[in-house]
Amino acid sequence: MNSNPRDLTQITLAVLFIGGLLLATFWVLKPFLSALLWATMIVVATWPLMLKLQAGLWNKRSLAVAVMSLSILLMLVLPLSMAIAAVVENSDKIVGWAKWLAESRVPPPPEWVATLPLIGDRLQTFWQSYVASGLEDIAPKLIPHAEGITKWFAAQAGDLSLLFMQFLLIVVISAILYVTGDEAAVWMRRFGSRLGGERGEGAVVLVGQAIRGVALGVVLTALLQAVAGGIGLAIAGIPMAVLLTALIFLLCIAQIGAGLVMFAAVGWLFWSGDTGWGIFLLIWSIVVTTMDNFIRPFLIKQGADLPIVLIFAGVIGGLLSFGLVGIFVGPVVLAVSYTLLDAWVKAGRQAS
């Protein structure tokens, strides 16, 4: 017989105790989980930058943490909170614009449209098809989407004062993680090693790479598109260019793209009779809406050498499932799952 028997009751109670302890821990940390996730993603994505900054500040971690925390507040948290607040506060206007656009008559295409290389004939045919019928055919589809998008952002934002406090909490947690990041990284690698050996430790490294890839490829690209689009809107004299810039940023984060706002502004200029500015903004809009096709894949590859489709699916699925923080959580989950599955398949080939 076994000299040290472990009966079923003992094992069951031990598992229940550990499970209850984990559940209680989750319950206590639940109010801080969203901020903790955001702060972790930000710190992991910007850790190499923080180390370079520390080296340039006489190797003083405290100075580097102070600069990084202020930078997060001014460059990421504050613009994002202002963008969400602007969209939520002007949600009625956005829906009104969608209704106005859907009920408007489309002006006939200018003569120069047909002379455009490659796309001239198709663009003129497409344009004339809506001149004949207006936008009545797409109005029932356009208005519900506009209402749904604004309601979704409102639901994500909730009370704006609580949102701002949440962002301040993100900055505070980020500062703490910058200070203790070295020890946390070592602990996470050991934890991964305990779970899965070398593959587990590799999965932890992959998480960091995936986060950096998404931060660079998705967030930075969206910011560049929003800035470029906002400059074009301001130059062309579009009303409320700041609000539309915020909307472009959020739409690019959500992988919808800048075209929804930019081409609507182009149509408004042509409808108003400003053909010259309409042509300018049309060319500018084509540049803004296509720049992500070149910038985003390049930046994503700098962080993690993963399939682009996997990153996009993770961003969209994570956004729909977890909200704004899902743009990081989704790709990380898919990246780790894909890599572990791929390593398991390759190990089976080598064994055979």
- Average pLDDT of span 171-197: 88
What are the distances in angstroms from CA 44 to CA 38, 151, 174, 185?
A: 10, 31, 10, 10
**55 class by beta-carbon count within 10 Å (0-12 exposed, 13-18 middle, 19+ buried):** exposed
Query: Per the domain annotation, does 15 fall within a domain?
Result: no
* Amino acid letter, 214: V
The dihedral region occupied by 60, where left means phi > 0, alpha psi between -120 and 50, and beta the remainder, is beta
- Which pLDDT score is estimated for 10? 83
Query: Per the domain annotation, does 217 fall within a domain?
Result: yes
Is the predicted pLDDT of residue 53 greater than 70, yes or no?
yes
Query: Per the domain annotation, does 12 fall within a domain?
Result: no
What are the distances in angstroms from CA 174 to CA 44, 73, 198, 247?
A: 10, 10, 28, 26
Query: Per the domain annotation, does 142 fall within a domain?
Result: no
In sign, the C-alpha dihedral spanning 64, 65, 68, 73 is negative
pLDDT in tens, 140-162: 555 555 555 555 555 555 555 56
Q: Give the tokens for residue 128.
A: 């004339």
The model carries a pTM of 0.64
Q: Domain limits at 217?
A: 37-89+159-351
What are the distances in angstroms from CA 89 to CA 58, 99, 147, 230, 320?
A: 45, 18, 13, 19, 22
Q: Which residue has the higher pLDDT, 23 or 109?
A: 23
- Which pLDDT score is estimated for 305? 64
- Average pLDDT of span 191-199: 81
Query: Per the domain annotation, does 223 fall within a domain?
Result: yes
Query: Per the domain annotation, does 18 fall within a domain?
Result: no
Query: Per the domain annotation, does 103 fall within a domain?
Result: no
Q: For the chain, how many structural domains are there in total?
A: 1
**Mean confidence (pLDDT) of the chain:** 76
- Which pLDDT score is estimated for 32? 86
- Average pLDDT of span 222-241: 88
- Which pLDDT score is estimated for 91? 61
In sign, the C-alpha dihedral spanning 231, 233, 234, 235 is positive
Query: Per the domain annotation, does 2 fall within a domain?
Result: no
Q: Which residue has the higher pLDDT, 323 or 195?
A: 195
